[in-house]
Structure 1
Amino acid sequence: MLSLASGYGNFAVPKVALAAADEALRQAREHGQPLSVSPAAGLPELREALAQRYRQRGATSVTAEQVLVTAGAKTGLFAVLSEILRPNDDVLLPTPNWFGFYDLVRRASGTLRPLPLSAADNYAFTPEMLRAALTPATRLLILSNPGNPTGRVYSQNEWAALLAVAAEFPNLWVLSDEIYEGISFGPEPVPTLLAQPGPHERHVVVSGFSKSLALAGWGVGCLVAPPELARAVAARLFSTGVAVPVTAQQAALAATQHANAIGAALCAQLQPTRQLLLAGLAALPGASAVVAPEGTYYVFADFTRFLAPGLPLPEASAQLVRRLAAAGVEVVDGATCGAPGFLRLSYAVAEEDLRRALAIIEATVRA
């Protein structure tokens, strides 16, 4: 089975991260002592390095006190959602979006309300759309930047326009999932929410190391929140789990210190398969112009023209995904992200595997 469905790339672990983890283990081995145990909120030096990186990206007021190191991004997301949300709180999620938000919001007692965006205008999200969707009962707006599965990057100006509307709702929290921020092919770096004014101090960023810094499998995430919320989340993490192992945090610290170089290397590695996938999709029957996604290592491709007629869209979408799987290619059904008939295809795979997968996809849809 060839998989274009995985959320993890085929990236080698950065040498600087491996060396840092090896050094932590060497110290324990040579001195015959147990590994040190990190504070629940993370190693102070990693928290400071992350804060410094956000300050370099324009979030000049971020301090280490606001940064928490979590056992993967999901743990951070669930912890912060559990602190912010009250039972049945309204959570606005522009879609298509990462399928994991649905269950995380439900488990944190919230009620998720999708706000469908359109591929026709490249998933534009305007202030007018946001104002029409928000109500006084809306507790949280979640936005992914870059977007998973779409790869859409919202610019500094787009953020500013949306947040001007959000500021009219003083009880509204805004959460930005920025885990793919280093995988970007646009002319400008991906902006962070933290660099935007937050008059009500209700901006939160969740991120991690598995995507943009090639530390898949190391189980390290992070979040940045206003000080009071950060303290509450740290207390929750202390009460409900254990700190991320020091070896993994040392690897994450080294990756953070070399983030720009690692991100640039990953984007260079991805360029050939990115072009291959875009060309392969453009060669399919009835293909219209494919908008190259600016971020992530996915293409969210429109396959609605290949769906079986007469079936409800979600059922027809699932049927197509099953046909592809039976032929030997795994993909993510866009229905799980709020867009049935679209497929999320990863190009963070070996070039030969991608060529074989594209040949199978073309043969399947032509059959």
Structure 2
Amino acid sequence: MSDAASSIPLLSLASGYGHFAVPPVALAAAIAALATAGQQAAPLAVAPAAGLPALRAALAARYRRRGAPGVEAENVLVTAGAKTGLFAVLSELLQPGDDVLLPTPNWFGFGELVRRAGGQLRTLLLDAADNYNLTPEALRAALTPATRLLILSNPNNPTGRVLSAAEWAGLLAVTAEFPGLWVLSDEIYEGISFGAAPVPTLLAQPGSHARHVVVSGFSKSLALAGWGVGCLAAPPALAAAVAARLFATGVAVPVPVQLAALAATEHAEAIGAVLCAQLQPTRQQLLDGLAALPGAEAVAAPEGTYYVFADFRRFLPAGLPPADASAALVRQLAAAGVEVVDGATCGAPGFVRLSYAVPEKVLTEALVRLRAGLVSE
């Protein structure tokens, strides 16, 4: 490859944030809060560590509308991004050396969060050949009486796989056999869904409020990337303990941001519909581009998120260990001018995570570069 080709600016299909405009209702709410402070020559109010009561109540009401009748404001906390909520929950639940089970492929950030909270992460590899199906039998075989926490993401990042309500029920019948086990569902992409039915929340499952936790946020499904606001729902005692930890170790999310999140929550379904409509063309464009590559096999289109987890194992350089070969392939694509997420970081070397939450023109050029980086023609 020439020096000119190797120095072209990278086009990123690796970012976890979409190319979305801030929802007008959210922007207006934040601006109004700032304007009021300016007009009154007063400082901004400081929210309670657990979040504004109105936002907590609105989030609880939305969970109830999604089929979770037992969720109240006391179950819900507002956090400075979803990772802050995840780490606070993990820090409360885990003792040093606790066993944590993570079916993979899954988000690459869980490993470091679990490690820093003192847990020991153990993975359960799922297979692309059966669309990453996690059966109750496989889950039962992977759990032990010492397992403290099971982490799932729904929709899954990076695969886009969505657990149905029936699948949740089958898996929770197994977890109920382990009285010391907690289940945590990362549902931050719940509004980015292309299935016939909305993504079911863990909290809508019967008996799901004793040892079950949901962590979510506003950056993916509600187009508030960069605003630094997340949320979680947990049993009252755990929620109170996490709120105390947040009070001791940080500051509350600024009130204008929480008011923007409140407006987004109140209009969540409409915002999600706009985002999914915006994503439809690039979703199909990426799927078509991947299908046109040599050796492409028919694959199930991802049902949720704005990623495709592409199987590029056929393009791996020979003679290297899987993780090294996967890293080499990612470097090869970067040399062609396309940045992607290495599937090895998600537990699946030879796969790459590609975002289609980018402008159509960017994706068109990225697909040209992707093909050039993979295929000698």
Normalising by structure 1, we get a TM-score of 0.99
User: 2:112 is aligned with what amino acid?
Assistant: D
For residues 218 and 281 of structure 1, the distance between their equivalents in structure 2, rounded to whole angstroms, comes to: 33
Which structure 2 residue ranges, 5 or more long, are not aligned? 1-9
SS at 2:216's partner residue? strand
Pick aligned residue for 1:332 from 303, 325, 341: 341
SS at 1:292's partner residue? coil
User: 2:219 is aligned with what amino acid?
Assistant: S
2:19 corresponds in structure 1 to 10
Q: Residue 70 of structure 2 contacts residue 209 of structure 2 at CA under 8 Å; is this kept in 1?
A: no
> Identity percentage over the alignment?
78
2:109 corresponds in structure 1 to 100
Please say if 1:272 is aligned against 2:281: yes
Please say if 1:309 is aligned against 2:314: no
For residues 228 and 197 of structure 1, the distance between their equivalents in structure 2, rounded to whole angstroms, comes to: 19
Tell me by how many angstroms 1:326 deviates.
1.3
SS at 1:92's partner residue? strand
For residues 208 and 66 of structure 1, the distance between their equivalents in structure 2, rounded to whole angstroms, comes to: 15
Tell me by how many angstroms 1:290 deviates.
2.5
SS at 2:327's partner residue? helix
User: 2:155 is aligned with what amino acid?
Assistant: P
Q: Matches of residues 1-367 of structure 1 in structure 2 within 5 Å?
A: 1-198=10-207, 201-367=210-376
User: 1:354 is aligned with what amino acid?
Assistant: L
For residues 330 and 198 of structure 1, the distance between their equivalents in structure 2, rounded to whole angstroms, comes to: 43
Q: Deviations over 1:174-200 (max 9, x none)?
A: 000000000000000000000112367
Q: Residue 278 of structure 1 contacts residue 290 of structure 1 at CA under 8 Å; is this kept in 2?
A: no
Q: Residue 336 of structure 2 contacts residue 372 of structure 2 at CA under 8 Å; is this kept in 1?
A: no
Task: Please tell me the root mean square deviation across aligned C-alpha atoms, in Å.
Answer: 0.7
Q: Residue 66 of structure 1 contacts residue 224 of structure 1 at CA under 8 Å; is this kept in 2?
A: yes
User: 2:290 is aligned with what amino acid?
Assistant: L
Tell me by how many angstroms 1:310 deviates.
0.9
4+ residue segments displaced more than 3 Å: none
For residues 353 and 216 of structure 1, the distance between their equivalents in structure 2, rounded to whole angstroms, comes to: 20
Tell me by how many angstroms 1:294 deviates.
0.1
SS at 2:353's partner residue? strand
Normalising by structure 2, we get a TM-score of 0.97
Q: 1:199 to 1:20 in 2, by over 3 A?
A: closer
2:5 corresponds in structure 1 to none
SS at 2:185's partner residue? strand
For residues 237 and 67 of structure 2, the distance between their equivalents in structure 1, rounded to whole angstroms, comes to: 22
Which structure 1 residue ranges, 5 or more long, are not aligned? none
Total equivalences in the alignment: 367
For residues 323 and 164 of structure 1, the distance between their equivalents in structure 2, rounded to whole angstroms, comes to: 45
For residues 298 and 122 of structure 1, the distance between their equivalents in structure 2, rounded to whole angstroms, comes to: 15
User: 1:141 is aligned with what amino acid?
Assistant: L
Tell me by how many angstroms 1:16 deviates.
0.1
Q: Deviations over 1:309-366 (max 9, x none)?
A: 1111100000010011111110000000000000000000010100100001111111
Q: Deviations over 1:71-116 (max 9, x none)?
A: 0000000000000001000000000000000000000000000000
User: 2:373 is aligned with what amino acid?
Assistant: T
Q: 1:147 to 1:233 in 2, by over 3 A?
A: same
For residues 375 and 169 of structure 2, the distance between their equivalents in structure 1, rounded to whole angstroms, comes to: 45
For residues 5 and 290 of structure 1, the distance between their equivalents in structure 2, rounded to whole angstroms, comes to: 21
Tell me by how many angstroms 1:291 deviates.
1.4
